[in-house]
Amino acid sequence: MPSRMTVDSNGEKMNKKNAWKLPRIGQKVEITIESVAFGGSGIGRFAGLVIFVPFTVDGDRVEIEITEVRQSYAKGRMCRILKPSPFRTVPECSLYERCGGCQYQHIAYTHQLEIKKNQVIDAFERIGKHPAPPVRDVIASPMPYAYRGKAEFHISFKSGRLPVIGYKEAADSRIVPVSRCAIVDESVNRSLTALRGKLNAISAAGRRGGKKEERVILWSDTGKAAVDPGVSGGRGGLVMRPVKEKMLRAPFQGFFQANSALVGSMVDSVIRACALTGKETVLDAYCGSGLFSLFLASSARQLFGVDADGEAVHCAAENLSKEGISNAEFFAGDVGEILRHTFLKTQQSVDIVVLDPPRIGCSSDVLEALKSLGPARIIYISCNPATQARDVRRLRDSGYILRDLQPIDMFPQTKHIEIVGLLERENRI
């Protein structure tokens, strides 16, 4: 009896018994990209196997070379575009696909927003186990390019050569020389040019020292740096950042929201989610330099801020003090420990928690402390929908209802997306 036949994604007939045979590394196949996964790779299929291909977009018909094969998926490298997607566009940066900073420059910006919304929905359905999550349309960045007010560059020093300054390659750890970055504020590019000249002069004079590699942070000149970054990156210094007609000081080496054009809209989303009446006690966990605290404290009865970065906490206290705000108190230390010892142990009640953890999300002790603290409302801000969905699932299991998810495109041209989530304790219905 002849074997039954099937057809692969190239339209070629295959024996049924071989239809699920894994492709080989180095094999070239043709596939159609169906969607874009969180992380930036396009998703296609060959002989029933999911294949991830960077720098593709749904609608592309491409020839790829298989670079990695696992039991449940494979990875491929795009060799050529056979039929371009209608969502494909021309990247603005000549270093795109080499530099590791951007993943979506080949995708039209309006479609980037649709992709990111779908990725948030997928994360909360698949990881968060939340059917039909309440995801709003993504708030677009007013500036799809030239929006970053801060950038970190790598510098490589080699004997007998001029220093190399740039970003790490997407494929490995080598530094790609960068003369201009398309997604940073132009003042950062000017500082980059000046820094390169300074480094070259130091190297030519033989005063480089024994360094092999270094990192340097450059900020836009929309604020005023309290130090000259030089080659040391301004370690220990401060920088001033403008937000909604106020100036905030932050540690030069510390965290601050990078999208200068959209940070005000992000603050507005948090204010709206908090819905303060003046009677609430607010806890700003992972408060950093007090970005949200500054705009919430004046509408709250009392505000507490907590962060592990002592220098950032000092800046937060000064930022609010300079605005004449006296109803705020800040604590430096591990968030979980402070929640247990400063709030739960003393039975300090909290009505609203603003939660803005690192990309890895909240630790179990923080989530357990929040469960015991029992605020009426939690505003969870995250740049990683996967860890946010995971943590929100645990909070839902603790009696909270997910009311709203507002994605904000703080990182155009990249795989990242910021989300402001609102949860309410179930007995508030």
**Do the bridges between strand 281-285 and strand 302-307 make them parallel or antiparallel, or are there none, so unpaired?**
parallel
Decide: helix, strand or coil at residue 42: strand
Give the DSSP H/E element, type plus range, for residue 87: none
274 is catalytic: no
Whether 348 has a binding-site annotation, put simply, is: no
Q: How far apart are CA 30 and CA 48, in angstroms?
A: 13
Question: Of 196, 187, 183, 178, nearest to 95 (Cα)?
Answer: 178
| Catalytic one of 274, 287, 362, 383 | 383
Residue 362: which H helix or E strand, with range?
none
Residue type, 359: R
Does residue 56 contact residue 41 with C-beta atoms inside 8 Å? yes
Helix/strand/coil (H, E, C) string of 268-327? HHHHHHHCCCCCCEEEEECCCCCHHHHHHHHHCCEEEEEECCHHHHHHHHHHHHHCCCCC
Query: Does the annotation flag 257 for ligand binding?
Result: yes
Determine the Cα–Cα distance for residues 324 and 331; give it in Å rounded to an integer: 19
Helical packing angle, 385-397 and 109-126, nearest 10°: 40
Q: Is 307 annotated as a binding residue?
A: yes
Is 185 labelled a binding residue?
A: no
**Which residues contribute to the annotated binding site?**
257, 286, 307, 356
Residues marked as catalytic: 383
**Which residues contribute to the annotated binding site for S-adenosyl-L-methionine?**
257, 286, 307, 356
